[in-house]
């Protein structure tokens, strides 16, 4: 299981950037955030392991320069896989990151495992 938020990057997140009124727009149109994401965003490739790296459509409020992405999968995501994927796609020589999985009661999409990643370019 990925680590919980503990380092400097993780300490920066506080709340969603979008107001709940804006989020409700998606709920009214699609009946749920999960339906919106499944219909519009979560189109998995036919590869194994099947995963997607997407910007968070509803990012948390973070310091400028910090990216909030999500890694989505059809299978549980192990820390080793997440680390390898981040290294392959972004490189720890350029980026620093932290990641976590929300507890089930805070997950808007429970159907597909996903990891929140906060990352910024190294100085």
Which pLDDT score, from 0 to 100, does residue 113 have?
A: 94
Which pLDDT score, from 0 to 100, does residue 33 have?
A: 86
Mean pLDDT of the 61-70 span: 92
Q: Is the pLDDT of residue 19 over 70?
A: no
Domain of residue 92, residue span: 5-121
Which pLDDT score, from 0 to 100, does residue 9 have?
A: 39
CB 52 within 8 A of CB 42: yes
Q: Is the pLDDT of residue 14 over 50?
A: no
Distances (CA, A) of 32 to 20, 26, 36, 58, 92: 13, 7, 6, 13, 35
β-bridge mates for residue 120, sequence order? 96
Q: Which residues contact 47 (CB under 8 A, 6 or more apart)?
A: none
Which pLDDT score, from 0 to 100, does residue 70 have?
A: 97
Between 19 and 76, residue with greater pLDDT: 76
Which pLDDT score, from 0 to 100, does residue 17 have?
A: 52
Domain count, the chain: 1
CB 46 within 8 A of CB 122: no
């Amino acid at each position: 299981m990925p680590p919980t938020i503990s380092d400097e990057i993780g300490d920066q997140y506080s709340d969603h950037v979008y107001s709940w009124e804006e989020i409700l727009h998606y709920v009214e149109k699609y009946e749920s955030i999960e339906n919106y994401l499944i219909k519009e965003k979560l189109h998995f490739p036919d590869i194994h392991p099947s995963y997607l790296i997407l910007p968070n459509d509803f990012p948390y409020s973070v310091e400028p320069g910090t990216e909030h992405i999500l890694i989505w999968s059809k299978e549980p995501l192990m820390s080793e896989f997440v680390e390898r994927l981040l290294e392959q796609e972004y490189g720890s020589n350029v980026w620093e990151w932290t990641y976590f999985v929300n507890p089930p009661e805070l997950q808007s999409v429970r159907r597909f495992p996903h990891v929140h990643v906060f990352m910024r370019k190294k100085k």
